[in-house]
Amino acid sequence: MVDHMKIKLNGTEIELPVIEGTENEKAIDISKLRAETGHITLDNGFGNTGSCKSKITFLDGEKGILRYRGYPIEQLADNSSFLEVSYLLNHGELPNKVELEKFEKTVKEPTLPVGICDLLDDFPKTAHPMGVAASAIVALSAFVPRENLDITKIDKDEVLGQLMESISIIAARFFRHRQGKKIIGTDPNLSYVENLYNMMFDEIPSEKVKKALEVLLILHADHEQNCSASAVRVIGSAQTNPYACISGGISALWGALHGGANQAVMEMLQDIQDNGGDYRKALDRAKDKEDPFRLMGFGHRVYKNFDPRAKIIKKACDTVLDQLGVSDPLLDVAKGLEKVALEDPYFVDRKLYPNVDFYSGIIYRALGIPTDMFTVMFAIGRLPGWFAQWRELAEFKGSKIARPRQVYMGENERDYIPMEKR
């Protein structure tokens, strides 16, 4: 028996079906509300609105749960590789050895077209890497066969492989270009993560650094219907090619309230350091309602408990800092801020714990990655998740073009006033 919710508007009563997900999430299906009542719902920021049914990622913010295709993020971070997780997100199951080898080959085979390499070299070295990445990914569509732009003919795994390899080359190439260093090509004998690191730093990462990067990319791979995933789906709902959709996802991720948060964390830490390095004073300012100062990297819009990704990445952070033995005043500020905040009743009572952005920024800085590259590293991890979201949308037979409604609050009808009478 299907549950319904009854509502009464202007004397008319209608029933709206209640949909229940596999994790007992409940939603009221309002798809016929406007047709039957003339009313729409208003939900600023879509915090209470479900835009789709999805089988990819489950998130429970109250309990601090994150699962990809049913697998707890903790198990994947401990045991899996980024490529294996990328396959899982896009195919629904963990790959066997043959499937993983085939997928890895698909990711390693593409090379970046010469025209894109020239484009990257022409960007000013002062350009923000996120703008470069978004531009280069959408430009890539001009260098692929036309059938790869037709979503009815596309080989989805082939395009996913090309996009994953391309974004790593784009990020690494621009990273070295802006420093005036020799460009390092891909090495077929290296894993995806090893290749990325080698293209950036011209050296193979240690096992501990490699594992930390694997964990970072896995934790960033998908996060349900966030801003950038929703952007990918909205663009894709117009049957737009995946290159343009992924470029849109990168642009959405760029924002300071989304993927740019890890950059904002480092900028906040730098500000604290520039003003004497007193992180205790920064905590006091954050607690002062009259002070506009905001503590970045603490708390999360969705998680009302500890961000499960933060628990995992904290271990990776400690491992990397311990192995590298980096001496950096900014990292000292970060560690001090973390320790004091975790003991401060104000933050503990409000469950304002350090989130994934706080720790990821620390790791990237310790590795020698500049602050404005942090969000590109995030994008590399998120790309297979975006593609999985696009893929699910493209394969859903009942898919419709996204077209939200609005409540108009402007002027009523009025007559045009000639220029001489204004």
| 312-337 pLDDT, tens digit each | 988 888 888 888 887 778 778 888 88
User: What Rg value do the Cα atoms of the chain yield, rounded?
Assistant: 23
Higher pLDDT among residues 295 and 168, named by residue: 168
247 burial type by CB count under 10 A (0-12 exposed, 13-18 middle, 19+ buried): buried
The two tokens of residue 385 are 């998740």
Determine the topology of domain 261-366 in CATH.
Cytochrome p450-Terp; domain 2 (1.10.230)
Q: Which residue type does 63 have? A: K
* pLDDT tens digit sequence for 176-201: 999 999 999 999 999 999 999 999 99
The listed CATH number (2.60.40, 3.40.50, 1.10.3470, 2.20.28) that belongs to domain 4-50: 2.20.28
pLDDT-derived band of residue 299, with 50, 70 and 90 as boundaries?
confident
Residues of CATH 2.20.28 domain(s) within the chain? 4-50
Residues of CATH 1.10.230.10 domain(s) within the chain? 261-366
Would you state the pLDDT for residue 36? 86
* pLDDT tens digit sequence for 40-71: 899 999 988 999 999 999 999 888 899 999 99
Would you state the pLDDT for residue 119? 96
Polymer length in residues for the chain: 422
Highest mean pLDDT (candidates 4-8, 49-53, 99-103, 273-277): 99-103
Q: Which string of DSSP letters, residue by residue, matches 376-398? A: HHHHHHHHHHHHHHHHHHHH-TT
Higher pLDDT among residues 284 and 305, named by residue: 284
Average of pLDDT values for 297-310?
Answer: 80
* pLDDT tens digit sequence for 76-128: 999 999 999 999 999 999 999 999 999 999 999 888 999 999 999 999 999 99
Would you state the pLDDT for residue 335? 82
Would you state the pLDDT for residue 337? 87
Alpha-carbon span 36 to 26, nearest angstrom: 22
Catalytic residues: 300, 357
Q: Which residue type does 91 have? A: H
Among residues 328, 258, 257, which one has the least CA distance to residue 294?
257
- Rounded to the nearest integer, the mean pLDDT of the chain is 92
Average of pLDDT values for 378-405?
Answer: 95
Longest CA–CA separation in the chain, Å: 77
Output the CA–CA distances (angstroms, integers) from residue 364 to 56, 122, 314, 367, 377, in the order listed. 28, 26, 13, 5, 9
Indicate if the pLDDT at residue 215 is higher than 60.
yes
Would you state the pLDDT for residue 323? 86
Average of pLDDT values for 252-267?
Answer: 86
Alpha-carbon span 296 to 257, nearest angstrom: 10
Among residues 265, 257, 259, which one has the least CA distance to residue 333?
265
CATH architecture group of domain 79-254? Orthogonal Bundle (1.10)
pLDDT-derived band of residue 293, with 50, 70 and 90 as boundaries?
confident
Would you state the pLDDT for residue 166? 97
Indicate if the pLDDT at residue 305 is higher than 80.
no
Note whether 48 and 54 are within 8 A (CB).
Answer: no
Alpha-carbon span 137 to 241, nearest angstrom: 12
Would you state the pLDDT for residue 276? 87
Output the CA–CA distances (angstroms, integers) from residue 148 to 145, 265, 301, in the order listed. 6, 38, 36
pLDDT-derived band of residue 311, with 50, 70 and 90 as boundaries?
confident
Residue with tokens 């470069």: 132
Residues of CATH 1.10.580.10 domain(s) within the chain? 79-254
Output the CA–CA distances (angstroms, integers) from residue 400 to 120, 234, 302, 393, in the order listed. 36, 10, 27, 9
Would you state the pLDDT for residue 2? 61
Percentage of the chain beyond pLDDT 90 is 62
Would you state the pLDDT for residue 184? 96
The two tokens of residue 177 are 């270009």
- Phi and psi at 190, nearest 5°, equal -100, 155
Among residues 136, 115, 127, 131, which one has the least CA distance to residue 177?
127
Output the CA–CA distances (angstroms, integers) from residue 110 to 100, 144, 163, 268, in the order listed. 17, 11, 9, 39
Percentage of the chain beyond pLDDT 70 is 100
The pTM assigned to this predicted structure is 0.91
